[in-house]
Structure 1
């Protein structure tokens, strides 16, 4: 539960900060040049500073509001780090597809499919594979990493594929943490009769 809240908090914080950064950047005007074009983002930053100062003053005047904000944050974090099977239950279209009993097993199966016998794979490749299948369309590589780590799947920050080092998953780490179960060979019986 604590791991899910921690991962969800990272996801919520990233989404909120990216949304605010995009909103500030959208203030730039393309029809102007020079300082006039950059005036929109500056005005938006000043507006954000005023809102932040006002919120801080309000919280100092009424500290009980912090309980409401904490409840909202925990709820958002819990929902953001929901396992894939919880998200599938909400979609009526997803009911037709069979779901794995354990989300970690489903993620490991997906990673083994994307690895396809290679020694390692970048998380960006895994995310592209997911998005081709219509899943995780709004995710970033950091979101995928947080979800994998929440499931106990190890990621490595320096995986080299094609001489490009970036975060990814190694097949050896998957085998170490999630060994594949190979059925034992059945004993052959020899009749003496």
Structure 2
């Protein structure tokens, strides 16, 4: 791979990661505005107000750029720096030597992921991905991952992720025990180490 290709791939991967991270964070922020002590339309006022705030910020940004187009240059520079940092290859992800390039990569294991989720779930009805990620990192796995990275890996393995799973009053991304039981019956998934292989 040439140096130019390496730079462009790192920027593309980083830009995608920054976008996913920001989108997930904003989605969680809007969802967190919902009031559990209210019902009906009043319970949804919080998220609606937060959406209105985001719309006003977007409108303000649009008007600022229309009035001063030069603002796009520092914005693009900030985005490029963030993408460059987010696209930093993790340890051990550098390109393998040419003689090893033809070896197939180990496929991620759905059984290992389900066993991990069942271990973190216990007897609860669901688990947030942030808790699963913390468990992984505590056991030396998923270093540098964000919740969005874990979500993509689980979905690639056919494990459904609920975008607003409410546990302890907090709605955010998570996995329901009922979905695991429906798609991966307990008798079909053996005990596996606490890890989710990188895709």
Shorter-chain TM range is 0.5 to 0.7
The alpha-carbon deviation at position 36 of structure 1 amounts to 0.6
In the TM superposition, structure 1's runs of 4+ consecutive aligned residues that sit over 6 Å from their partners are 126-129, 142-145
Match of 1:38?
44
Q: Indicate yes or no: 2:111 matched with 1:103.
A: no
Structure 1, unmatched stretches of 5+, are 86-99, 146-156, 171-193
Inter-partner Cα distance in structure 2 for 1:4 and 1:73: 13
Whichever of the two has the greater Rg, that structure is 1
Matched, 1:59 2:65: yes
CA 36–76 in structure 1, closer or farther in 2 if over 3 Å, else same? same
Cα distance in 2 between the residues matched to 1:123 and 1:61: 55
Q: Partners of 1:76 and 1:136 in 2: how far apart?
A: 15
1:83 aligns with 2:83: no
Query: CA offsets per residue over residues 82-112 of structure 1, 9 Å max, x none?
Result: 1124xxxxxxxxxxxxxx5x6345xx9xx97
SS in 1 for 2:109: strand
Superposition TM-score, scaled by structure 2 size: 0.53
1:139–1:35 CA distance, 2 compared to 1 (3 A): closer
Q: Does 1:140 align with 2:128?
A: no
Partner of 1:4: 10
- 1-side partners of 2:136 and 2:94: how far apart? 15
Q: How does 1:40-189 map to 2 (within 5 A)?
A: 40-85=46-91, 103-105=94-96, 121-122=109-110, 125=113, 131=137, 132-134=139-141, 135-136=143-144, 138-141=146-149
Q: How many residues align?
A: 130
